[in-house]
Structures are given as structure tokens and as C-alpha cells.
């Protein structure tokens, strides 16, 4: 989903827009406005999906490998993109173009428990469990689809938003210090970690469903990719460049849609569309969907993500599946019953956890942290904690 919309507010100058927590379909607007709105969300989603596919962070082995702290390309992509978003949002706010509206804490057990961050803590843990079980997150699932071819008021009360900045140390100051320290370290990390060989093995594992029995017969399609190369025909980009590109899509999304990036609300939106058509009494039997039935922008953004991932994979020069290896290796493309149970259970935890927390790796991680939301930092911290515990418990898929 593309989460908070940037809309004019009475207490702000007319040229300043504020990031909101929901985005609904325009009513009573002209055809041209409706077409433009569709186009902007599709474009933002397309660019996001394209960059995610180039980063290869949708690969289950990459996600689980990160949660087991055996490889770090996902973390570098994630942190680089977040820093770009943090710097961009801070500059746009300083220029008076937009105003942050960071994610609020959600009190699952009441405000007296976990300082009112109960939803974020529990939801983050569930998302982490789901990521390690399924090898996916709500956003990368959409890229996987393309490659292969918020609000949570029901769960708790919202407190006033808490952010990390203060009058004495502004968001822009925090962004500048974080970027000055973070970008060199992340670039250096990209040059040190063996991400090229890891991607090769991850592709073989994920698409042949078995480790390569004879790795010497497999040519590495990622070997000639530069650390700072941005080539649209390459099979992948380095983790640092991928993070810059994903962060860049955050900036484009804010400028053309007035919204920051997020992915998980498309699932309750689809549920709302189905429920409101099948059950005439849905407002009584399933009131949860009231907040999501008008969020068609999340669907447009998600469709764009699917096509962005598809376009990236088609232009990558890779032949997936058995064609990645010079000779097919032993293994089966079919899942065992245990694997199916694990994937289904992981998917349920992903979506349910993201609704409890009010966002996922995109909404809280890339966008919430970019707005210095304390709730988002807590959600992401427990996301990695839950993912690490589950990854070591169940191992690779």
C-alpha cells in the first residue's frame, strides 16, 4: 500500500501538505484527475517493485539468511533506503513542502503496558516470525508475483505521536548526522560482504528447491556487477545502489502521489472488497474493514509493484529455474506438506502482524523510520528480534 496521503490541512499554509495515515478513492473528481491518480500510484509502485527486484531482497534465502545473520545484503538495502527517505522527508519538511505525520503507537494491552506500544511490540514479533517462516514480507510477496510470471484501530488505541527529534535537535540535523555516518559505512559494507556469490547460491536454492550438487558447473551471473553500477539490464544491483534506488522511489512517491511507501494494507483492502460484496451486514459482522474499503490506492500501488518486478526480471538477462545452472541439479520444484504448512502459517502471521502493528517492513521500516516515528523503530526492532528467534528455530525453508 501507499500509506499516508499528503493533503492540505487548515492549520498549515496552503502550499504545505501533511502526510496522512490513510488514502482513499477520490469522489466526485473529474475523469482526468482520476486517471492521473491511477497513473501516479501505478508509477510509484512500478518503480518500487523494479528496485526491489533488482535488490533481490524478495528471495526467501536472502530474507532468512539475514534473520540468521549469515548475510547482510538485506540489511544494507534496508538501511540505505531508510536513510535516503529520512534525508528527503526532512529536507522537504524544512522547505515547507510537506509535514511529517509519523505513525502513532498502538496500545494492544492498554496504555499502562509497554508504555502504550503493545501493538507495535507484538505485531513486530509476529511479522518477524512470519518472515522467517515464509521467507517473505507483505511487500516482497508482490514482487515475487511479478517475478514469477495504516491503520489498526480495531486492535488498540492510538496515543499522540512520539518522534525522536526535539526542538534542540531537529529531524534534519538527525538526518544529516545519520547520513554522514551511515552512507560511508553501508557502502564499505557492500564492498566487503560476498553478496555476488551469496545471490548465486540463493537463486539456485530458491528456484531449484535444492542446494547445487555441482556448484562448479554454475556460472555466476552476478560476478561482473559493480558496487556502484546502475544498469537497468543487469540481473541485480549492489545492496548499496539498490537501497539508494528504493529510497529514491520514496521521494518520487511523495512528490507525485503525496504519499509514502507501504505495502501491507492491500491485503485488508482486498478482504474489504470481498466482504462488502458477500455480506450485506458486514458493518456489524466485520467492522474492521470499514477503515480499508476505500483504500483503492493501495491496490493501484500493488499492481504497479507486480509489473515493476516483472519488468525488472524480464530485462535482467537471467533465465530462472533450472536454466540458471549449466546442468539441472537434483531436487524437486514441489513443496512437501511440512513446507506448505510453514509457508501458510508464515503468511498468516505476516498479514495479521502487520495489521496489529499498523504497518510492515515498508510502512514502518522505510517510511515510519524515515519520519522518526518511535512506534516504527520499536516495531522494526521487534521484527528483527522475532525473525532472528524463529529463523534459528526452524532454519532455512
Assess whether pLDDT exceeds 80 at residue 137: yes
- Rounded to the nearest integer, the mean pLDDT of the chain is 80
Task: For residue range 238-257, list pLDDT tens digits in order.
Answer: 999 999 999 999 999 988 88
Task: For residue range 36-56, list pLDDT tens digits in order.
Answer: 888 999 999 999 999 999 999
H/E stretch holding 357 reads helix 337-357
The pLDDT score that the predictor gives to residue 130 is: 95
Query: Given pLDDT bands bounded at 50, 70 and 90, which one contains residue 13?
Result: very low
Percent of the chain exceeding pLDDT 90 equals 38
Assess whether pLDDT exceeds 60 at residue 359: yes
396 Ramachandran zone, left/alpha/beta (phi>0; psi -120 to 50)? beta
147 near 203, Cβ under 8 Å? no
Q: What is the mean pLDDT of residues 386-393?
A: 96
- Greater confidence, 238 or 262? 238
Query: Given pLDDT bands bounded at 50, 70 and 90, which one contains residue 327?
Result: very low
The pLDDT score that the predictor gives to residue 345 is: 94
Helix (H, G, I), strand (E, B) or coil at 214: coil
The pLDDT score that the predictor gives to residue 5 is: 42
* Burial group, residue 51, by CB count within 10 angstroms (0-12, 13-18, 19+): buried
- Greater confidence, 59 or 153? 59
Beta-carbon count within 10 A of 227 CB: 15
Task: For residue range 171-224, list pLDDT tens digits in order.
Answer: 999 999 999 999 999 999 999 999 999 998 888 888 765 444 455 556 788 988
- 277 secondary structure, DSSP code: H
Least confident of 111-120, 125-134, 174-183: 111-120
Amino acid at each position: 500500500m501507499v500509506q499516508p496521503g499528503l493533503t492540505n490541512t487548515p492549520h498549515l499554509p496552503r502550499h504545505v501538505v501533511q502526510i496522512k495515515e490513510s488514502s482513499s478513492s477520490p469522489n466526485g473528481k473529474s475523469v482526468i484527475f482520476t486517471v492521473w491518480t491511477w497513473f501516479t500510484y501505478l508509477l510509484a509502485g512500478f518503480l518500487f517493485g523494479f528496485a526491489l527486484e533488482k535488490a533481490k531482497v524478495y528471495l526467501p534465502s536472502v530474507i532468512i539468511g539475514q534473520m540468521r545473520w549469515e548475510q547482510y545484503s538485506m540489511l544494507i538495502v534496508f538501511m540505505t533506503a531508510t536513510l535516503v527517505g529520512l534525508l528527503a522527508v526532512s529536507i522537504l519538511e524544512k522547505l515547507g513542502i510537506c509535514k511529517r505525520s509519523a505513525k502513532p503507537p498502538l496500545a494492544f494491552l492498554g496504555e499502562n503496558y509497554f508504555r502504550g506500544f503493545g501493538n507495535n511490540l507484538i505485531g513486530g514479533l509476529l511479522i518477524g516470525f512470519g518472515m522467517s517462516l515464509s521467507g517473505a514480507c507483505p511487500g516482497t510477496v508482490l514482487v515475487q508475483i511479478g517475478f514469477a510470471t495504516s491503520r489498526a484501530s480495531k486492535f488498540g488505541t492510538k496515543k499522540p505521536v512520539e518522534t525522536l527529534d526535539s526542538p534542540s535537535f531537529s529531524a534534519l540535523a538527525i538526518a544529516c548526522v545519520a547520513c554522514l555516518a551511515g552512507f560511508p559505512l553501508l557502502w564499505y559494507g557492500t564492498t566487503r560482504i560476498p553478496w555476488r556469490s551469496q545471490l548465486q547460491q540463493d537463486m539456485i536454492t530458491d528456484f531449484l528447491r535444492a542446494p547445487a550438487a555441482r556448484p562448479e558447473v554454475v556460472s555466476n551471473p552476478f560476478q561482473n556487477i559493480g558496487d556502484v553500477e546502475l544498469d537497468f539490464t543487469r540481473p541485480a544491483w549492489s545492496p548499496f545502489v539498490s537501497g539508494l534506488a528504493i529510497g529514491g522511489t520514496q521521494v518520487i512517491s511523495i512528490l507525485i502521489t503525496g504519499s509514502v511507501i507501504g505495502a501491507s494494507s492491500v491485503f485488508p483492502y482486498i478482504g474489504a472488497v470481498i466482504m462488502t460484496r458477500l455480506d450485506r451486514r458486514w458493518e456489524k459482522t466485520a467492522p474492521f474493514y470499514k477503515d480499508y474499503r476505500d483504500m483503492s490506492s493501495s491496490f493501484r500501488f500493488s499492481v504497479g509493484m507486480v509489473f515493476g518486478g516483472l519488468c525488472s526480471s524480464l530485462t535482467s538477462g537471467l533465465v530462472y529455474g533450472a536454466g540458471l545452472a549449466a546442468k539441472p541439479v537434483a531436487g524437486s520444484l514441489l513443496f512437501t506438506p511440512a513446507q506448505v504448512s510453514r509457508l501458510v502459517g508464515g503468511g498468516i502471521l505476516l498479514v495479521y502482524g502487520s495489521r496489529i502493528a499498523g504497518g510492515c517492513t515498508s510502512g514502518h521500516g522505510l517510511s515510519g523510520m524515515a519520519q522518526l516515528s518511535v512506534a516504527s523503530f520499536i516495531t522494526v526492532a521487534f521484527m528483527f528480534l522475532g525473525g532472528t528467534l524463529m529463523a534459528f528455530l526452524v532454519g532455512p525453508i
